[in-house]
Amino acid sequence: MQKSYTKTYKSNPKFLPEIEDYVFDIVKQTKISNEKLNNLEMATAEAAANCMLHGNKNDKKKNVEVNIFIETDKIIVKFKDEGKGFKIKNVPDPTQPENILKTSGRGLHIMKSLLDDLKYNFTPSGTEVILTVKF
């Protein structure tokens, strides 16, 4: 049986702690381990901030939609902004020597290392980042 939760926030950094609390309060009721819960918390913070900063370009008139799906063996958290998306291949790999000092690309790399799966869905109405953690 799947449970789902949806909430929409204005694209304003002041709502970042509220988004994190929203996800955390729902997810901590599952059988997720503390380690995976902490990883999901960090990835949630990064994904929500990316939606506001990079996706919505700090436009406070735009929204970030948060969808949480609790399944029998995993948790899926989707963040959708109203941005035009990006080319994943254009994001520098922060582990390569020539990119070590660059500030871009680290968040995606960190999220990938914290999650069981990280996907992007580029649509005409915005970009979805999909975080998956298995139990």
pLDDT attached to residue 73: 94
Asked if residues 95 and 109 have their Cβ atoms less than 8 Å apart, the reply is: yes
Residue environment code for 27-36, b if the CB has 16+ CB neighbours within 10 A, otherwise e: beebebeeeb
- Which run of H or E residues covers position 24? helix 16-27
pLDDT attached to residue 92: 63
72 or 87, which is more confident?
A: 72
The average pLDDT across 11-22 equals 97
pLDDT attached to residue 60: 96
The Cα 120–Cα 129 span in angstroms is 5
Q: Which of 134, 85, 92 is nearest to 109 (CA)?
A: 92
